[in-house]
Amino acid sequence: MKFIVQGGLNKTGLKGSIRVPGDKSISHRSIMFGSLAEGTSHISGFLEGEDSLNTLRAFQAMGVSIEGPSAGKVTIEGVGMHGLKPPAQALDLGNSGTSMRLLAGLLAGQKFDVELSGDASLSKRPMKRVTDPLTEMGAVVATAEGGKPPLKITGNQTLKGINYQMPMASAQVKSCCLLAGMYAQGKTCVTEPAITRDHTERMLEAFGCDVDVSDSMACVTGPAKLMAADIDVPGDISSAAFFMVGASIADDSDIVLEHVGINPTRTGVINILKLMGADISCSNHQEVGGEPVVDLRIRSAKLKGIHIPEGLVPLAIDEFPIIFVAAACAEGQTIVTGAEELRVKESDRIQVMADGLKALGVDARATEDGMIIKGGEIGAGTVHSHDDHRIAMAFAMASLCSNGDIHIEDCDNVNTSFPGFAELAASCGLSIQVVNE
């Protein structure tokens, strides 16, 4: 599948009120915790994208009765912390690094052996970052060469609580350790070098597990248990980010994004765009399932280049492909540092975005831990997403300030996080054509 997106100069911008799909991080965790809880959990707003569906299928393969999803509603009959059954074959997690890393923690404490595998992209992603602390806890996890998937977990191990100083800021690593800690004897504490998203801590509390959080440390005491809960998944701020930038860079835009989660560990993209001069306002503040939710209104703005504060980088790590597009449309130079984590995402997002921007005539230079972008005119051209959903959607929005059409190759994986992206974007003004080859 590829996108052909019409250049947007001298056209009207994005308009209307829309609701983006449910938060992927929260959707993953709702399935995991609902499955391990005692009782029946009801989930609404569940993201029906391939990544979160792969998590759902994995728990079905381990004997959990899950009804749905139907219009975002899922009903889970929890089996308790030790009620999972050995799957008949390896659990194929597709493109989802979140599924693999979090499941590694949950399954390290089970009585049975299990193998976690994924697609070609996931099979290149680093897993030593989770297998190292799991091994320290007493788990037995084998990887392929270089610490890459598949992961082969040997069950029936006695796990012990540890104090783990994370070498990198990663919510997936933190979550993996905390979830294994629920099966360990004693207290497991994880200290992170920079604050990362805290959906795991918030949702564990919602399912009745005490999590002790102070500054940069989070702790759980095992053995723990979970009780069923009802979760309303808010709109994913990572998906909303494409429309935030699109509306900012296109003339005559005025769009409302309804029911978006603004967890304070995820609002880096809003703060970065505001520093660049974006016109973003919040209304209809609510709290749903422990998560703050608002409606976001975005209007056209003249963006300016900035040196993005490194403290905001971990709070916007998934949104950098579209932030790079904002920088390409801004006046002046934008410098990103401290973002080396982008090199081990679904693609090397630093290099792939730099290559794509250069193909469109933008002055973009990749650095070891970020990028230097001189804003200016975006031209027509063809870019390759390298099967990375966020790259594909970022370049689709780049067309709103391009002087010609943009062809984007390898867009199939957009459905991993944002099913219906092209249709929703078209409904508010993006001239996008989907071509199935």
Question: Residue 189 — very low, low, confident or very high, per pLDDT cuts 50/70/90?
Answer: very high
The tens digit of pLDDT for each residue in 378-389 reads: 999 999 999 999
pLDDT at position 415 is 87
Is the omega angle on the peptide bond into residue 234 within 30 degrees of 0, that is, cis? no
* Centroid of chain to Cα 253: 26
In angstroms, rounded to a whole number, what is the distance separating the alpha carbons of residues 432 and 426? 6
The tens digit of pLDDT for each residue in 157-182 reads: 999 999 999 999 899 999 999 999 99
pLDDT at position 381 is 97
Q: Are 26 and 237 in contact (CB under 8 A)?
A: no
Q: Is residue 332 scored above 90 in pLDDT?
A: yes
The tens digit of pLDDT for each residue in 9-57 reads: 767 799 999 999 999 999 999 999 999 999 999 999 999 999 999 999 9
Residue 280 CA: distances (Å) to CA of 104, 258, 265, 336: 38, 13, 18, 22
The tens digit of pLDDT for each residue in 270-286 reads: 999 999 999 999 999 99
Residue-range domain boundaries for the chain = 2-22+234-435, 24-232
The tens digit of pLDDT for each residue in 57-68 reads: 999 999 999 999
In angstroms, rounded to a whole number, what is the distance separating the alpha carbons of residues 62 and 72? 22
* CA dihedral for 406, 407, 410, 412, sign (positive or negative): positive
Residue 191's DSSP bridge partners are: 165, 217
pLDDT at position 10 is 61
In angstroms, rounded to a whole number, what is the distance separating the alpha carbons of residues 358 and 296? 31
The tens digit of pLDDT for each residue in 247-273 reads: 999 999 999 999 999 999 999 999 999
Rg (alpha carbons) of the chain, rounded to whole number: 21
In angstroms, rounded to a whole number, what is the distance separating the alpha carbons of residues 50 and 415? 6
Mean pLDDT to the nearest integer, 139-161 = 97
pLDDT at position 416 is 85
Fold of 24-232: UDP-n-acetylglucosamine1-carboxyvinyl-transferase; Chain (3.65.10)
Half-sphere exposure of 256 (CA within 13 A, CB side): 9
E-strand ranges in 276-376 read: 279-288, 291-299, 333-336, 363-367, 370-374
Residue 44's DSSP bridge partners are: 232
Angle between helices 171-181 and 128-136 (to 10 degrees): 30
* CA dihedral for 225, 227, 228, 231, sign (positive or negative): negative
pLDDT at position 35 is 98
Residue 266: DSSP 8-state: T
| Residue type (1 letter), 254 | D
Element (H or E) spanning 246, and its range? helix 237-249
Domain 24-232 in the same topology as domain 2-22+234-435? yes
Q: Are 263 and 236 in contact (CB under 8 A)?
A: no
* Centroid of chain to Cα 162: 27
Q: Are 94 and 169 in contact (CB under 8 A)?
A: no
Looking at every residue in the chain, the average pLDDT score rounds to: 96
Q: Which CATH superfamily is domain 2-22+234-435 in?
A: Enolpyruvate transferase domain (3.65.10.10)
The tens digit of pLDDT for each residue in 337-385 reads: 999 999 989 899 999 999 999 999 999 999 999 999 999 989 999 999 9
Element (H or E) spanning 12, and its range? none
The tens digit of pLDDT for each residue in 410-423 reads: 999 998 889 999 99
Nearest to 40 by CA among 207, 176, 229: 229
DSSP code string of 118-153: --TTGGGS--HHHHHHHHHTT-EEEEEGGGEEEEEE
pLDDT at position 142 is 97
**Which of the residues are catalytic?**
318
